[in-house]
Amino acid sequence: MPLLLGVFETPNKVVEVVGRLRSRGYQDLDVFSPAPFPEVEDALIDKPSRVRLWTLIGGLAGVTTGFAMTIWMSYDWKIVVGGKALASIPPYVIIGFELTILFGGLLTLVGLAVHAGLPHGRFGKNDVGYSARFSAEDFGLTVRCKERDVAEVDALLRAFSAKEVSLVEP
Amino acid sequence: MTPPPAASVADMIRPVPAVADSDVNRDILAVMDRPTMPYWLLLGFLVVFVHSAGAVWVYQVYKGLGIAGYAHPIFWGVYIVTFVFWVGIAHAGTLISAILYLFRSKWRNAINRSAAAMTIFAVLTAAQFLGIHVGRIWKSYFILPYPNQRGLWVNFKSPLVWDTFAISTYGTISALFLFVGLIPDFAIARDRSTGWRKVLYTALALGWEGKSKQWKAWNRTVLHLSGLCTPLVLSVHSVVSWDFAMSIVPTWHATIFAPYFVAGAIFSGFAMVLTMMIPVRRIYGLEAYITDYHFDNMAKFILLTSLIVGYSYLMEFFIAWYSGNEFEQTAWWYRVFGPYWISTWTMLICNTVIPQVFWFKRARVHVPTVFAVSIFVNIGMWFERYVIIVIGLSHEYNPAVWGIYTPQPAELMILAGSFGFFAMFFVIFIKLFPVIAVAEMKELAIHKKSHAHEGAH
């Protein structure tokens, strides 16, 4: 199926055109954006990112590991201080806390890799349509559509102030 | 794929894309341009300096810690002081990149990258001092809970073990945070470089193209890492303060230590960010990105934390007087009027008196004044740790364990080397990585452009 690329200058226009395209039934859309613009991302992807699940799992694994490790080690090598419990929870809160953060952070990075699809593509090869202008200040909207819809998509992109529209994949 | 040959480093970064490039890209990536002769001289000096300090450390390993000023009753000296100092310096980076992110303070965008990088370098510098301090560096790993034939584990009730976990977690998470922030900027550099730089940035950018799902996951990642870093940054210096507060040494055993140390850490960290960034801004012409507004805000932070630190000092003296406890009162009197009075008064003047100049806006936006105050704060905060650690140990309850400690040349050389070590990494960093967060600055630039467009229509 053909792939069209529209180049835009502002995020607002991208949001508007994406809304229109989606309402017209075009779902195979993607945007190359030079900076983070939540409104653009939300226009394309409805659900919140699932990276948060990874953070939660990491945090829970960390706190469990922190307490399990300290308590188990206290009983495995006993430091007996008269009348005191072998495992003393208050100081272990610190280890539990630090490992919550450590594991939570590491798994968040794994979540980023999984949900952002990183590493992406072959080394040194970019996706069709990508160019250095999209790491400057332009926005690139790619639309994959049926051949018979090319003219309509082209007109729509231009109607929303696309600077350029090109057929990057016939 | 073999990258095309490049005549020089400048040629590697200069190729202009077919479409006009963004001003933000051009200005910030220009910092990474061809290193000049003064740059090489500075880097060469720092490398030689760090190696000289390294040689002194090797000599210390050979001779033993006796060449440091350690003598009964003081076995925590310049090395622990410097360790705490560098951990403190690290804090501003996380505060700026994480806490200000959660508060949606957009002004942080201009300084968060350099501050986050300083966090890593400061933690690296600090971590070395634990190894230097223990003397027998090859036994440093004893602090880790690892399976061993003796079947014993570390004592998790010890603040030194907490410290190990806190510092290693802090270093790891800060490095991760810095890397995540750099991914989009690596892609920008990748698209504008050739030669070995192209290969390096292509590898580091992980195929980033700024697609929606990438930004969506990235935004969430930055948010969560900020959320994790916020309690972390507050906990790290609290844990460091408990290295002292958990003991029963007079002047150490105080509940105020955790917030007092955290405020001091942020205070000194902001000062160090200013000390490093003011010359970089001047040399590389980044005045359009780091403006009076940034200096004004950072100076306000310094003033605020100076007041917290000053309040803590006063409260310590007040409580000593109010307690009616003779030992406590004597210890505090000794701090201000004893043989170490110079250190104490340096601390008091640099940390509480000099920053008061920032009540005046004219001083907050006057760059030479801000730079000078930042240097005084750095000096004052090093002395604060010296005062707490050394004076506390030199005058405990029992006159049999009173004594005087004088830093020795080996310690001072290694202390000086730590500044060289920190500066060396920063100097290398500014030529390899974007010193300002390009994508985040561009977010502001594009928003501004969008509003101008809308206004025009």
Domain boundary assignment for chain A: 3-47+126-169, 51-116
Q: For testing the chain A interface, which of B209, B246, B443 should be mutated: the one with the most A CBs within 10 Å?
A: B209
Residue B457: which pLDDT band, with cuts at 50, 70 and 90?
A: low
* pLDDT exceeds 80 at position A124: no
What confidence tens digit (pLDDT) does each residue in B259-268 have?
999 999 999 9
Q: What is the pLDDT of residue B27?
A: 83
Residues of A in contact with B235 (CB under 8 A): 94, 97-98
Q: Which of B168, B213, B229, B438 should one mutate to test binding to chain A, selecting the residue with the greatest count of A CBs within 10 A?
A: B213
Contact B215 A132 (CB under 8 A): no
Per-residue pLDDT of A79-122, as tens digits, reads 888 888 889 999 999 999 999 999 999 999 999 999 998 898 88
How many angstroms separate the CA of residue A150 from the nearest CA in chain B? 22
CA–CA gap between residue B112 and residue B330 (Å, rounded): 44
Fold designation for A3-47+126-169: Alpha-Beta Plaits (3.30.70)
pLDDT of A160 higher than 70: yes
Rounded mean pLDDT of B415-433?
A: 93
Collapsing DSSP states into helix, strand and coil, what is residue A8?
strand
**What local confidence, expressed as pLDDT, does residue B302 receive?**
94
Please check whether residue B221 touches A, CB under 8 A. Answer: yes
Mean pLDDT in residue range B26-36: 85
Identify the weakest region by mean pLDDT among A23-32, B224-233, B448-457.
Answer: B448-457
Q: For the domain B34-440, what is the CATH code?
A: 1.20.1630.10
Which residue stretches of chain A are H helix?
11-23, 38-44, 51-76, 89-116, 150-159
Please tell me the least confidently modeled range out of A73-87, A152-166, B10-24, B437-451: B10-24
Please choose, from the candidates B211, B288, B404, the residue with its C-alpha nearest in 3D space to the C-alpha of residue B26. Answer: B288
Please check the confidence at residue B152 and state whether its pLDDT lies above 70. yes
Mean pLDDT to the nearest integer, A53-82: 93
For A:35-54, CB contacts with B below 8 A are 35-38, 40-41, 44-45, 48-49, 51-52
Picking from A125-129, B208-212, B405-409, which range would have the lowest pLDDT averaged per residue?
A: A125-129
Report, as an integer, the average pLDDT of B144-161: 88
- Residue B18 confidence (pLDDT) above 70: no
| Residue-wise pLDDT tens digits, B286-315 | 888 888 888 999 999 999 999 999 999 999
The whole-number pLDDT of residue B150 equals: 83
Distance CA B97, CA B429 (A): 17
Give residue limits of the domains in chain B: 34-440
pLDDT at B20 over 70: no
For the ranges B12-26, B357-371, B396-410, the maximum mean pLDDT occurs at: B357-371
Contact present, B249 and B169 (Cβ < 8 Å): no
Percent of chain B with pLDDT over 90: 59
Q: Inter-chain contact B191–A135, Cβ cutoff 8 Å?
A: yes
Does the pLDDT value for residue B456 go beyond 60? no
Q: Which residues contact B158 (CB under 8 A, 6 or more apart)?
A: none
- Residue A67 predicted with pLDDT over 70: yes
Q: Is the confidence at residue B452, as pLDDT, over 80?
A: no
B342 touches chain A (CB under 8 A): no
- Which residue, among B277, B283, B310, B329, has the nearest Cα to B436 in the 3D structure? B277
Which DSSP symbol is given to A122? S
For chain A, give the mean pLDDT.
Answer: 90
What's the average model confidence in pLDDT over B125-137?
Answer: 90
Which pLDDT band, with edges at 50, 70 and 90, does B112 fall under? confident
Kindly tell me if the per-residue pLDDT of B370 is higher than 90: yes
A 84-103 residues inside an 8 A Cβ radius of B: 88, 91-92, 94-95, 97-99, 101-102
Q: What is the 3-state secondary structure (H, E, C) of chain B?
A: CCCCCCCCHHHHHCCCCCCCCCHHHHHHHHHHCCCCHHHHHHHHHHHHHHHHHHHHHHHHHHHCHHHCCCECCECCCHHHHHHHHHHHHHHHHHHHHHHHHHCCCHHHHHCHHHHHHHHHHHHHHHHHHHHHHHCCHHHHHHHCCCCCCCCCCCCCCCHHHHHHHHHHHHHHHHHHHHHHHHHHHHHHHHCCCCHHHHHHHHHHHCCCCCEHHHHHHHHHHHHHHHHHHHHHHHHHHHHHHHHHHCCCCCCCCCCCHHHHHHHHHHHHHHHHHHHHHHHHHHHCCCCCCCCHHHHHHHHHHHHHHHHHHHHHHHHHHHHHHHHCCHHHHHHHHHHHHCCCHHHHHHHHHHHHHHHHHHHCHHHHCCHHHHHHHHHHHHHHHHHHHHHHHHHHHHECCCHHHECCCCCCHHHHHHHHHHHHHHHHHHHHHHHHCCCCCHHHHHHHHHHHHHHHHHHHC
Confidence band for B372, pLDDT divided at 50, 70 and 90? very high
* B214 to A120: CB separation less than 8 angstroms, yes or no: yes
The pLDDT assigned to A114 comes to 95
Candidate from B30-39, B47-56, B345-354, B381-390 with smallest mean pLDDT: B30-39
**Sorting pLDDT into bands at 50, 70 and 90, what band is B165?**
very high
Which residues of chain B make contact with A123, given a CB cutoff of 8 A? Answer: 1, 202-203, 207
Nearest chain A CA: its distance from B234 CA (Å): 12
Q: Give the torsion sign (CA, A155, A160, A163, A169).
A: negative
CA distance A11 to B213: 16
pLDDT in the model for residue A137? 86
Which residues in chain B are contacts of A166 at CB distance < 8 A? none
User: Which residue of chain B comes nearest to A48, CA vs CA?
Assistant: B216
Interchain proximity B225–A106, CB inside 8 Å: no
Contacts of A108 in chain B (CB under 8 A): 221, 224-225, 228
**Rounded to whole angstroms, how far apart are CA atoms B201 and B282?**
27
End-to-end, the C-alpha distance of chain A in Å comes to 7
Establish if B144 touches chain A: CB-CB under 8 angstroms.
Answer: no
B375 pLDDT band, cuts 50/70/90, is very high
Report d(CA B55, CA B52) in Å as an integer: 5
Side by side, the strands of the sheet bearing A164-169 are A29-32, A139-144, A3-8, A164-169
Residue of B158, B169, B180, B454 for testing the chain A interface, max A β-carbons within 10 Å: B169
Using an 8 Å CB-CB cutoff, list chain B residues near A49: 216-217, 219-220
Nearest Cα neighbor of B170 from B124, B210, B105, B208 is B124
Query: Coil, strand, or helix at residue A47?
Result: coil
Q: In this complex, do B25 and A136 lie within 8 Å of one another by their Cβ atoms? A: yes
Chain A residues whose CB is inside 8 A of the B213 CB are 41, 45, 115-117
- Number of inter-chain CB pairs under 8 A, A vs B: 214
Has residue B13 got a pLDDT over 70?
no
Q: Which stretch of DSSP H or E encloses residue A29? A: strand A29-32
Q: Is A104 on the interface with B (CB under 8 A)?
A: yes
User: What value does the mean pLDDT of chain B take?
Assistant: 89
Return the higher-pLDDT residue of A168 and B454: A168
CB < 8 Å from B in window 144-163 of A: none
B11 inside 8 A of chain A by CB: no
- B positions 179-218 inside 8 Å of A (CB): 180, 183-184, 187-188, 191-192, 202-203, 206-218
